Structure 1
Amino acid sequence: MEREADDGTSFSIAGGAGRVKYTLAEIELTARGIDLVGQDAQELAASLGSELRWMSHFAAGLLASGLQAANGTQYAARAAEAVLSSAQGSVAAAAQGVAELALHASAAAQRYGAAEAETVARENAQRMKALFGGIEVSSAGIFGPLVLWWQVHKLQDDAARAGLRDKTEDLLNYGPAYLAGLLGPMAGLAYLLGREPSGQGPSGQGPSRVRPNAGVLPAAGLRRFFDWTGLAKPGHLELRRVPAAEWHGRPEDWRPGRAVPDPSGGVQVDVEPGAAGLLAGSRDAYGYPPGSIVVDRLDRPDGTRAWIVHLPGTEDWSQVDSVNPMDLEGDLEGMTAAQPTLFRQQQIVVQEMMKQALTDAGALPTEDVMITGHSGGGIHAAAAAANPAFLADFNLRMIIIAGAPARNLPVLPAVKVLDLQNEDDIVAAADYGPPPGSANWVTVTSHRPGAPHGKDPVEVIKAAHDLGNYIDDAHALERSSDPGIKAVRESVGVFMGGVAAARGPMNVPGGGAVKVSRRVYQGRDVDDTSLGNGQPDKRQPGRRPA
């Protein structure tokens, strides 16, 4: 679905309530279940028929016996016979209807399977096209650079139409085939022979457009490489609560609207009770000391409490493994969170930060929690929502993420997801494909005015990934009537204690902000000295927001 905002930005929305895509196996399972119900109903109808015949013979025999009160008993038997006859007819009709429904479900499964097979065929065609594209360059001899230039030019035109994100996903998925072709026909043939059958899931059960964990293997391989080379070192978390005086520099530099110290240890902050206002908490996290996350305590009108954790994105690119948990190593920890035992650094530092910060702030296991995150912070939000151990400690209800490659993290169905992306955000393409179209995961792709044509590609990429632009997108979605967005709005309203819901769509003008008590926590990823030369070799990083 697409909707256009006042500034000309349009949106494609996938997933969420009212737009659930069932897999082939689920449709087939449903068809079999319906068919079993129909068989049970047919058996019940047959049993009622037997009882009806027995009742009819009993009534006739009773009348022929001439016994006293036979007429009255026969009247009751005839009434029971009529009830049985009516029940048999109803059950038989229901059985026929259920059987027809099972046939329709089976037909739907066949149609879905055919559509998936067609999608797989298109995927194979794309892969073969990439393979032969590489062979074209390798076979062109001295004209190879000219062929390569034409291919790059064509790729730029395609990116201008489809967006950099989707073309980057294509490069990640089909790049190996192109490189194999570039090495020559024999390498291309070896690539084809070495590939597993396309479109099959891990167990080979039916077609699937893109395997759900397509981006896990590259992330795991890169992390193993960093482990092997020593660029990433095992470490542990050190956490401290940041005093309010250190949040924004010297006290005299505080501006109106900034946080004000509170005697209770928290700081009272105004938050807009909508997706945009909540996501702004991640923007605030970028402004605190390096390696900081935010924990907001919400005191609801009904006396209950809820907690909102705000995560920044990747802050340090100066080295793979820095003292700042929000670095490249941290991103890879989040993307491979489901395979912790494969790596020397088994602790997921950012998740541990969230756990310790929430515990220190006073969060109870039964109290609702929400996480917002931009870029790498979105990866960690999704990783926490996919981790049963984290969910056992905290009642995580929802995550709001922006510009995050999080599709490979199997967020549990009980956690609602609002996933904001942009058609030119290549960071969101690092998970190798689109997010799942499920009832709990709503993905919004913004198509902001201004295509890459004629613009500096670097500026286009920066603007696409900018958190401020994503917050503007969230504001533009506030009045959307899309069923998935409406479900998100209702979830936000429930989480905020009914405040947002009472105002209408997201945060319609006329309602006030909600006060929360804010704490800021700074984490350090400190090397385990017992595993190295005895001395930590991490340096305090500079702050370089993604």
Structure 2
Amino acid sequence: MTEFTPAGSGEVPRPSPPPPDGMLRIRGGVGGLSFQFEELLAGAAALDAVVRQLYAVEGEADGIRRSLFEYQTDSYRSGSDAIIAVGEAGRDVGRVRAELEHIAAQVRASHREYEFTEARNALLLRMGLSGPEYGSAQGPFELPGVRDQVEHGVAAAPRGLALLLGLPVPLAGAVGALSGPADVRRAVRELTTAPGLGFLKPRPVRVVGSETAIADVDVSPGGLLRRAEAVGRNSGDIEVIRIDGGDRPAWVVIIPGTQLGGPPEGTNPFDAAGIAEALGYDSAATSAAVGQALREAGAEAGEQLAVVGYSQGGIHAMNLSRDKAFLAEFDLKFVLTAGSPVGGISPEPGIGSLHLEHQHDWVPGADGLANADTRDRVTVTLTNNLTLPPPQDFGLGPGHNLENYAAGAEAVSASRDPSLQASTAALAAVVGAGGSATVTRFSLRREALPAPGVLTAPGPERRAAVPPSARPAVPRTGPAATPVPLGVPG
């Protein structure tokens, strides 16, 4: 019978990026490079434990061989055979032990090479030298997408500024290395202090109304993103979904993307000032309003929660994943984002996240940072071709279209990639299979700016100065109120 030897048999296992899955380019998760190396190091540690045991076996075998010497004269032939057999067994154990030591050493050497490569890439990024010519994920004949170009440009801003000031290239590179990638958070905060831009500073955000209905809810990634599109049609709305079916209710919060068109100093928390709050101030005001909405909907401690956000909403959603005050009250388990620049946000341990980006969507690269590659964090880059819309519908570009992201999420759900299967399973563990659920739309409003020339004090006095017109009347009901039709597809 013919025997086949697997390709690479006997060699040290080497991590490799997951292959493209149709239009999906996948990074992170249980199939990601970082987790593969974690597994290799764990394997090397396990090999070390086996090696220690084999050393002990070798010692015992040699002890037994020596103890047989005094009995060799009783029966020279059989005694000699026994001594030889025990000695050979000990040497066989030693050969296996030496081979395992060699494999463990090779694994660690491979990990050191990986660490060196990562350190090199980080240094190049700090110097502003990033792109396909320095070893990015693109193939040798593939141009970087708009998303990567924007991310590289933002990251290289300090170096570009140094070159603009006339510094020679080596010195500009050193400036970039010392300053690191552009600090978008700091830049946003400084921008809000500029004359005439004070309206970008955060102001308190509160729930001013709600309506509740019973609806069939598709809790797949694609279905939840489509709900984000529906929620975004009403300025300042978020959606809180209560899903029954387990021992305790589970909750989903849906946060829409940026809503433009109103005055820049307006009260819609998801306008341009909402971007500044999300990128520069960790969404402190919006996070407080989301917590208020959850409490009014009836969420209690210990009940699991998933948050879904599109564009600006994804930044708010990820900021919740590191908000210690919010996490002390709510058991956030999973965050799903689409088209959101969230590379600079690291969630607390144990919170899974799935991020959808398109290679021709510049928005996810606007913070100049790539998403981390970890076991619980998966980033999917969509590479499908796009249709150029008419000028009046161009918006932020065809790559930022939410329906395109929803279609990509459906491809994610159908994928057999191990990272995606584990990530979608983590989301399903929170939200279940879907079906009938209690859906509450909450209307959020940001505190209005004081009238010009009016002095206001912090606290209740300032809140009393907000004109009534800044808080439009919205019918308010609690979770137990009579359901009101929302007119939103399930």
Aligned with 1:369: secondary structure? strand
Report deviation, 1:173. 2.3
Q: Report the counterpart of residue 272 of structure 1 in structure 2.
A: 218
Conservation of the 8 A alpha-carbon contact between 2:31 and 2:418: yes
Match runs of 1:48-67 below 5 Å: 48-49=60-61, 52=64, 56=68
Measured in 2, the distance between the counterparts of 1:82 and 1:269 equals 79
Q: Report the counterpart of residue 372 of structure 2 in structure 1.
A: 436
Measured in 1, the distance between the counterparts of 2:88 and 2:266 equals 77
1:354 equivalent among 262, 284, 290: 290
1:330 equivalent among 250, 263, 274: 274
Q: Report the counterpart of residue 240 of structure 1 in structure 2.
A: 208
Match runs of 1:110-129 below 5 Å: 110-113=112-115, 115-116=117-118, 119=121, 127=129
Measured in 2, the distance between the counterparts of 1:219 and 1:317 equals 25
Measured in 1, the distance between the counterparts of 2:258 and 2:471 equals 12
1:459 equivalent among 355, 378, 394: 394
Single out whichever of 94-103 and 270-279 deviates more from structure 2: 94-103
Single out whichever of 420-429 and 43-52 deviates more from structure 2: 43-52
2:416 equivalent among 481, 498, 501: 481
Measured in 2, the distance between the counterparts of 1:488 and 1:366 equals 21
Q: Report the counterpart of residue 366 of structure 1 in structure 2.
A: 302
**1:99 to 1:538, Cα distance in 2 relative to 1, 3 A:** farther
Q: Report the counterpart of residue 447 of structure 2 in structure 1.
A: 526
Match runs of 1:172-183 below 5 Å: 172-183=154-165
Report deviation, 1:312. 0.8
CA deviations 1:70-128 (Å, max 9, x no partner) are xxxxxxxxxxx999989967864663343123212122124324544664687589749
Larger helix proportion, structure 1 or 2? 1
Measured in 1, the distance between the counterparts of 2:85 and 2:295 equals 63
RMSD: 4.4
Q: Which amino acid aligns with 1:469?
A: N
Report deviation, 1:54. 7.6
Q: Report the counterpart of residue 514 of structure 1 in structure 2.
A: 435
CA deviations 1:222-247 (Å, max 9, x no partner) are 213414654445633332341x3xxx
TM-score (norm 2): 0.72
Conservation of the 8 A alpha-carbon contact between 2:243 and 2:437: yes
Q: Report the counterpart of residue 232 of structure 2 in structure 1.
A: 286
Is 1:304 the counterpart of 2:228 in the alignment? no
Aligned with 1:172: secondary structure? helix
Q: Report the counterpart of residue 100 of structure 1 in structure 2.
A: 102
Measured in 2, the distance between the counterparts of 1:27 and 1:352 equals 39
Aligned with 2:269: secondary structure? coil
Aligned with 1:417: secondary structure? strand
Conservation of the 8 A alpha-carbon contact between 1:11 and 1:444: yes
Measured in 2, the distance between the counterparts of 1:195 and 1:115 equals 19
CA deviations 1:442-496 (Å, max 9, x no partner) are 22222332487x9969828432212222112223444222222222332343333
**1:220 to 1:316, Cα distance in 2 relative to 1, 3 A:** farther
Conservation of the 8 A alpha-carbon contact between 1:320 and 1:328: yes
Q: Which amino acid aligns with 1:44?
A: A
Measured in 1, the distance between the counterparts of 2:333 and 2:60 equals 48
Measured in 2, the distance between the counterparts of 1:475 and 1:413 equals 27
Q: Report the counterpart of residue 252 of structure 1 in structure 2.
A: none
1:495 equivalent among 430, 436, 443: 430
**1:128 to 1:96, Cα distance in 2 relative to 1, 3 A:** closer
Q: Report the counterpart of residue 222 of structure 1 in structure 2.
A: 188
**1:293 to 1:39, Cα distance in 2 relative to 1, 3 A:** same
Measured in 2, the distance between the counterparts of 1:28 and 1:299 equals 41
**1:89 to 1:424, Cα distance in 2 relative to 1, 3 A:** same
Q: Which amino acid aligns with 2:269?
A: P
Measured in 2, the distance between the counterparts of 1:316 and 1:482 equals 37
Q: Report the counterpart of residue 111 of structure 2 in structure 1.
A: 109
Q: Report the counterpart of residue 422 of structure 1 in structure 2.
A: 358
Conservation of the 8 A alpha-carbon contact between 2:303 and 2:330: yes
**1:358 to 1:28, Cα distance in 2 relative to 1, 3 A:** same
Q: Report the counterpart of residue 17 of structure 1 in structure 2.
A: 30
Conservation of the 8 A alpha-carbon contact between 1:318 and 1:541: no
**1:194 to 1:486, Cα distance in 2 relative to 1, 3 A:** closer
Aligned with 1:13: secondary structure? strand
Q: Which amino acid aligns with 2:204?
A: H
Gap regions ≥5 residues in structure 2: 1-18, 75-82, 132-141, 451-455, 473-490
**1:232 to 1:167, Cα distance in 2 relative to 1, 3 A:** closer
Report deviation, 1:38. 6.1
Conservation of the 8 A alpha-carbon contact between 1:324 and 1:523: yes
Aligned with 2:305: secondary structure? strand
Q: Report the counterpart of residue 20 of structure 2 in structure 1.
A: 2
Q: Which amino acid aligns with 1:239?
A: V
Measured in 2, the distance between the counterparts of 1:106 and 1:321 equals 56
Q: Report the counterpart of residue 344 of structure 1 in structure 2.
A: none
Q: Which amino acid aligns with 1:103?
A: A
Q: Which amino acid aligns with 1:168?
A: V
Conservation of the 8 A alpha-carbon contact between 2:254 and 2:309: yes
Report deviation, 1:355. 1.5
Conservation of the 8 A alpha-carbon contact between 1:223 and 1:329: no
Measured in 1, the distance between the counterparts of 2:93 and 2:380 equals 46
2:172 equivalent among 181, 188, 191: 191
Single out whichever of 421-430 and 109-118 deviates more from structure 2: 109-118
Conservation of the 8 A alpha-carbon contact between 1:322 and 1:541: no
Gap regions ≥5 residues in structure 1: 5-9, 65-80, 130-159, 199-210, 245-265, 339-346, 500-512
**1:456 to 1:447, Cα distance in 2 relative to 1, 3 A:** farther
Report deviation, 1:530. 1.9
Conservation of the 8 A alpha-carbon contact between 1:316 and 1:322: no
Report deviation, 1:272. 1.8
Report deviation, 1:336. 4.4
Aligned pair count reads 430
Q: Which amino acid aligns with 1:517?
A: T
CA deviations 1:370-396 (Å, max 9, x no partner) are 111101110011111233443332222
Measured in 2, the distance between the counterparts of 1:481 and 1:31 equals 25
Aligned with 2:34: secondary structure? coil
TM-score (norm 1): 0.66
Conservation of the 8 A alpha-carbon contact between 2:147 and 2:359: yes
Matched-pair identity in %? 23
CA deviations 1:315-358 (Å, max 9, x no partner) are 247566643322344333333456xxxxxxxx701211222222
Measured in 2, the distance between the counterparts of 1:175 and 1:536 equals 40
